[in-house]
Structure 1
Amino acid sequence: MAERGREPLEALDSARRRALRLAGLSAAADPDMDRFARLVARLLGVPAACVALIEEDRQILPGMIGLPEPWAERRALPVSRSLCRYVVDSGKPLGISDTRADGRLRAGPDVKDLGAVAYAAVPVTDGSGLVLGALCAIDHTPRSWAGGGLADLEELAAACSGDLRLRILSAQLQAAQRVLETARAAAERARGDAERLEHEAQAGLDHAELLLRASEELAQTSGLEDLRRRLRDLFVGVGKPSYVGLLVVDEGELRRIPDPDDAHSVERELLTLPADAAFPSARAVRERRTVFVPDRDALVAGYGPDAVAVFDRMGFSTVLCLPLWGSRGLLGVLVICWPRPHEVSIPERASLTAASGYIAQAAERALYLDERISVAHQLQAAMLTDLPLTDALEISALYQPAADEAMIGGDWYDAYHLPPTGPGESTPLMITVGDIAGHDMHAATVMGQIRSMLRQATLDHPPHSPSAALTALEAACSVLPLDAGGTLVHARLDPLGDAAGWALTWSNAGHPPPLLRTPDGAVTTLVEHDVLLHPALDSMERTECRRELPPDSTLLLYTDGLVERRGHDIDAAIAQLVALLARHGDRPLPELLRRISSRMAEPPPGDDVVLLALRIP
């Protein structure tokens, strides 16, 4: 049967399903439907009755009495060729005195399975008149339904239909109420969504700004300290973390890089962490993954009491630890902390992870640069002379790297004894302060060669004349050839024998003038000099000068990094140095050099600086 009243059977089945769903009926006992079945059995005097409702491929029995097993338990029967189906399809009451007399009916499931010999059924409908099923009376022996039996069944079916309609209407009203409440909730959600979208849009702008700042600010970092300083303001506006920390992997532990200008208390308290520490940052490194701790309960559950105690003291609630990966492996971890529970959204985590990539690149450059600087400083420190021990003179030296630590240089000092001139006499002393041009490893290497060659030239040319040694040095450089350019003062100190004091003999190759402070506090600038060392200049005979140094006088030699600043007058700087030596020249030599270095350090020197001071007892 494809159609009924021009309505497709599929559409009718769909409408019945919806009505039954609204009425809350299925193949399960329903108290109201069972009551209608009992009323039918009592009023019509039949042994069995049921409320049969039609689904696509079966009839369900939410109300029944007197049916045999297994149908009493299953409450469902096949719908094909069932008597109920005839009622539903016709929409009219049906009364059969003896089903066995009709060849079409006696093989049906109602007759065969339920023992329905006499059968009467009246349609039950919803509010629109759609037939949902039937109220059925069943007798196991033939009987006539005349004399009011069918009419009584129609009365009961009307009441049953009324119950179904009331259920459906109530369900529809509840559904309408739910729709209204849903609409109200949707309006509230829409309002909340608008606020959320506005917040997300602002957060998106903050995240984009973070990545832009990270790409710009971190591209020019000059070391770990500089990187840590820049991190301080990088995350402003993105979730407003209360603390951003940087830890690097260093020989099996995590070393914290403190902010040089704004040391957080956690940085004073925890400078290092063992790799196996029960801290989120250590776990991020051990497990090589991002670690997120949303609140204190998660911290207590997953980490040690030391971590909980530190977080409580610092006022941290939420922490995100992002591994920093470099080309050679894991470099360290970025730690971001919030004072209150903070939900890190997927876009925020994505932007923070992307920013950590820029930070990792900057950290790798900084570590490489710091490593180079450390090696270079070790090399330069190894090249600096250990001052000779002597009771005849006081001597002290100071080396100060350039403000840009990456700029190693060719500044050096040297001091060593010459062979004694006679038995029992104080041995002469050679001193040198020089500066080879350049601020790189090449300059430092050339400086080491020049220092060694000058020592050899001095010792190989008795009577150890400073000028003769410089002349020999230049000759050797021109033959090798050695591309060495720079300035230096090479000097010899000889005791005056029976007279008190020492004699100073020096040769100056274009170097800033030494300063001599005499016991009366007056400072003399020893301005005599020749041209600087340079391979492009013709060789010339170097000259030298001689001056006696009375007891309690102080001699100061220095390199140009002390007095040369871009945009500043060198003569004014030397005058400032003269004034400092005059005022503080009677202080112990190490203290004197520290005072000069600190007072002359503004603005910070762009070149390394050497100071060498001698005092005549």
Structure 2
Amino acid sequence: MREPGRETEADPINAAQQRVLRWVGLTAASDTGMDRFARLVSRVLRVPVAFVSLVEENRQILPGLIGLPEPWAGRRTLPLSHSLCRYVVASGRPLVVPDARADERLRTNPAVTDLGVVAYAGIPLRDTDGLVLGSLCAIDHQPRSWEQGELSDLEDLAAACSAELCLRILSAKSRSAQQVLETARAAAEHAQRDAQRLEQEAQAGLDHAELLLRASEELAQTSGLEDVRRRVRDLFVGAGKPSYVGLLVADKDELHRVADPDIEHSVEQEVLTLSVDAAFPSARVMRDRRAVFVPDRETLVAGYSPVAVRFFDRMGFTTALCLPLWGSRALLGVLAICWAKRHEVDVTERATLTAASGYVAQAVERALYLDERISVARQLQAAMLTDLPLADGVEISALYQPAADDHMIGGDWYDAYHLPRAANSDGETSALMVTVGDITGHDMHAATIMGQIRSMLRQATLDHPPYSPAAALAALDAACSILPLETSGTLVHARLDPVDGSPDWTLTWSNAGHPPPLLRAPDGHVTQLLEHDVLLHRSLGAFDRTEHRRPLQPGSTLLLYTDGLVERRGHDMDAAVAQLIALLARHGGGSLDELLRRISNRLAHPAPEDDVVLLAVRTPVVAQP
């Protein structure tokens, strides 16, 4: 811990400091630029309180602050008795305190009791002559061991804030110089040149601070690698804006370039994959596990392969800075920043770009994690969708359409399987079980529960001859009430039996709170099978399920579906069901595959908010003599 120094608590600021503070022109009022620096400190160092402090003769003003309680936040001023920043001003050195309560000098300071200051880090804010005007402060209400990286970030931000103060001072001096221009033209021109130089330096500092602020805000909202690539491309602005920013992601011994989804770089498409052993700057980053800087073409020719040189020439690059993207556990890839003209990357800009690459790395790690999780979930869900059986003349078709949002892994499913032939008196045509269900939720948990419920329902059906749908559902209810399964959802479980000595079939079904199935007669008339019981929920315990029967003429079509087809925010569900009935009536006599595609195209949203399942079964048509 750095000690506060040996200055007395009453050390006043000197006349030079008072004069410079007047040039700065900041008061005990909110300043947009200073508030932005306070927010940036709070975000980068993850502290609840941060402020820009300027120490006057009898008080401390806070033109930039975040997180300070009332009444201090409204006043934007603190008495010197509550000021830790005055030690920074008096000593001209940073003050870093892990726990002020344990500090012999500071523990009785009213800032500890009145403001809740526990951990404190303050970096001097200086003018162009090195005069300390105040400090950029980070405060935590809990003890904190400040990391060197955090203090480095705070020093970089303090440098940018000092540049902003210098810019204001120089602007004020420039205005004053204009008033005496006629009598001191030579001096004014000299001051103007200095002002321009310092303004450029200050603007560069502001650009760097803006970059970090944009990186923290923009990259926190990304959801996939393409989105990260798009936002990275638009992240860098200002005088030092690069001509190209590339993103490469590591996969074992290769680097895969994430192509720009909006702007086509023809040469970029030629080198989508690089071996880690390739003589490219980005590959060297992976091998050496450090940043690689190529200032000009001569350096590229001397240190890298002719293939890399040709690639840079075709892309029009002269200077390149390749930064490693470090994840929490491994090196994730490389951020390649390239300029068409020779570009000098000074220490401050390099530190800023390195800090920005940290935000890019976090976004890439999050995107890779989500992509992997979504891929696993999709594969799990696809694996649990049943291969439709060959059904002895019965036509059967199914369609599954996942939600547009990849994060919404649903619990919708369908199932179809033959019952043992021993259940049929003629022994020739087997009965068919069909199920469509929807487990509540849109995540991996829902998909997992769905797979368990599907398997349990199959077992319950086959364990209860004569294979009653209601008996199977009742057994499922009983099992769910005992087993530790967070079961909630709806389903229709149905059996189709051929009638002995007749071309007709019989439909037997039990509905657990699911949207009513639709039954189309051969003449095109469609009936809603409205009979149903309560939904499936473990809290309801064992339940006496009912089942219902309907005779089916040859060529009858049964349509089962989930609510994602007809239920959409801002739309009338009854109107959607009516449209579904009309589509089934008009097109239900043709190909079932075509029927399901037509229904999905007409009713399902192009980017559905929920999964959609459709299952259609048609009894055999009697051949005409």
- TM-score, normalised by the number of residues in structure 1: 0.63
Say which SS state the counterpart of residue 448 (structure 2) adopts: helix
1:506 to 493, 496, 509: 509
TM-superposed CA distance for 1:472, in Å, is 1.7
Residue type of the partner of 1:319? A
Tell whether 2:305 aligns with 1:293.
no
Supply the distance in 1 between the matched residues of 2:504 and 2:317 (Cα, whole angstroms).
Answer: 68
Residue in 2 aligned with 1:462?
465
Supply the distance in 1 between the matched residues of 2:236 and 2:587 (Cα, whole angstroms).
Answer: 48
Alignment of 1:359-508 (within 5 A): 359-390=360-391, 392-420=393-421, 421-422=424-425, 425-480=428-483, 482-496=485-499, 499-500=502-503, 502-508=505-511
Cα gap change, 1:296 to 1:390, in 2 (>3 Å): farther
2:565 to 558, 562, 567: 562
8 Å contact from structure 1 (residues 392, 426) kept in 2: no
TM-superposed CA distance for 1:394, in Å, is 3.0
TM-superposed CA distance for 1:249, in Å, is 0.9
Cα gap change, 1:331 to 1:582, in 2 (>3 Å): farther
Say which SS state the counterpart of residue 536 (structure 1) adopts: helix
The one-character-per-residue Cα deviations of 1:454-474 (angstroms, maximum 9, x if unpaired) are 111111112212112111211
Alignment of 1:87-102 (within 5 A): none
Supply the distance in 2 between the matched residues of 1:567 and 1:550 (Cα, whole angstroms).
Answer: 38
Supply the distance in 2 between the matched residues of 1:443 and 1:336 (Cα, whole angstroms).
Answer: 43
Supply the distance in 2 between the matched residues of 1:272 and 1:199 (Cα, whole angstroms).
Answer: 39
Residue type of the partner of 1:431? V
8 Å contact from structure 1 (residues 210, 238) kept in 2: no
Q: Which moved more, 1:595-604 or 1:270-279?
A: 595-604
The one-character-per-residue Cα deviations of 1:201-257 (angstroms, maximum 9, x if unpaired) are 333322222211211222233333332333242224463333322221112211223
Supply the distance in 2 between the matched residues of 1:593 and 1:457 (Cα, whole angstroms).
Answer: 29
Supply the distance in 2 between the matched residues of 1:519 and 1:294 (Cα, whole angstroms).
Answer: 78
TM-superposed CA distance for 1:514, in Å, is 2.4
Residue in 1 aligned with 2:334?
333
Residue in 1 aligned with 2:345?
344
The one-character-per-residue Cα deviations of 1:264-283 (angstroms, maximum 9, x if unpaired) are 44554333222222222222
8 Å contact from structure 1 (residues 316, 337) kept in 2: yes
Measured on the aligned residues, the alpha-carbon RMSD in Å equals 3.1
Residue in 2 aligned with 1:231?
232
Residue in 2 aligned with 1:222?
223
Supply the distance in 2 between the matched residues of 1:363 and 1:202 (Cα, whole angstroms).
Answer: 29
Say which SS state the counterpart of residue 200 (structure 2) adopts: helix
Cα gap change, 1:233 to 1:562, in 2 (>3 Å): farther
Residue type of the partner of 2:199? E
Supply the distance in 2 between the matched residues of 1:573 and 1:465 (Cα, whole angstroms).
Answer: 32
8 Å contact from structure 1 (residues 483, 535) kept in 2: yes
Residue type of the partner of 1:387? L
Residue in 1 aligned with 2:546?
543
Residue type of the partner of 2:509? W
TM-superposed CA distance for 1:489, in Å, is 0.8
Supply the distance in 1 between the matched residues of 2:582 and 2:261 (Cα, whole angstroms).
Answer: 33
Say which SS state the counterpart of residue 239 (structure 1) adopts: coil
Supply the distance in 2 between the matched residues of 1:284 and 1:442 (Cα, whole angstroms).
Answer: 40
Say which SS state the counterpart of residue 348 (structure 2) adopts: helix
TM-superposed CA distance for 1:410, in Å, is 2.0
Supply the distance in 2 between the matched residues of 1:469 and 1:372 (Cα, whole angstroms).
Answer: 34
8 Å contact from structure 1 (residues 502, 616) kept in 2: yes
Cα gap change, 1:597 to 1:319, in 2 (>3 Å): farther
Say which SS state the counterpart of residue 372 (structure 1) adopts: helix
8 Å contact from structure 2 (residues 249, 256) kept in 1: yes
Cα gap change, 1:223 to 1:601, in 2 (>3 Å): farther
Supply the distance in 1 between the matched residues of 2:261 and 2:568 (Cα, whole angstroms).
Answer: 25
Supply the distance in 1 between the matched residues of 2:541 and 2:570 (Cα, whole angstroms).
Answer: 31
Alignment of 1:189-268 (within 5 A): 193-237=194-238, 239-266=240-267, 268=269
Tell whether 2:598 aligns with 1:574.
no
8 Å contact from structure 1 (residues 207, 238) kept in 2: no
Cα gap change, 1:484 to 1:391, in 2 (>3 Å): same
Supply the distance in 2 between the matched residues of 1:404 and 1:337 (Cα, whole angstroms).
Answer: 34
Cα gap change, 1:191 to 1:257, in 2 (>3 Å): same
Supply the distance in 1 between the matched residues of 2:437 and 2:286 (Cα, whole angstroms).
Answer: 48
TM-superposed CA distance for 1:287, in Å, is 1.6
8 Å contact from structure 2 (residues 391, 432) kept in 1: no
Supply the distance in 2 between the matched residues of 1:581 and 1:205 (Cα, whole angstroms).
Answer: 64
Aligned length: 434
Alignment of 1:104-123 (within 5 A): none
8 Å contact from structure 2 (residues 426, 500) kept in 1: no
8 Å contact from structure 2 (residues 478, 541) kept in 1: no
TM-superposed CA distance for 1:594, in Å, is 4.4
Cα gap change, 1:467 to 1:273, in 2 (>3 Å): same
Say which SS state the counterpart of residue 234 (structure 1) adopts: coil
Say which SS state the counterpart of residue 537 (structure 2) adopts: coil
Supply the distance in 2 between the matched residues of 1:560 and 1:435 (Cα, whole angstroms).
Answer: 8
Cα gap change, 1:275 to 1:572, in 2 (>3 Å): farther
Supply the distance in 2 between the matched residues of 1:190 and 1:432 (Cα, whole angstroms).
Answer: 84
8 Å contact from structure 2 (residues 512, 535) kept in 1: yes
Supply the distance in 2 between the matched residues of 1:418 and 1:200 (Cα, whole angstroms).
Answer: 81
TM-superposed CA distance for 1:607, in Å, is 2.9
Larger gyration radius, structure 1 or structure 2? 1
Supply the distance in 2 between the matched residues of 1:598 and 1:240 (Cα, whole angstroms).
Answer: 45
Residue type of the partner of 1:250? D
Cα gap change, 1:198 to 1:605, in 2 (>3 Å): same
Supply the distance in 1 between the matched residues of 2:230 and 2:560 (Cα, whole angstroms).
Answer: 36
- TM-score, normalised by the number of residues in structure 2: 0.63
Say which SS state the counterpart of residue 258 (structure 1) adopts: coil
Q: Which runs of 5+ in 2 are unaligned?
A: 1-184, 621-625
Q: Which moved more, 1:394-403 or 1:589-598?
A: 589-598
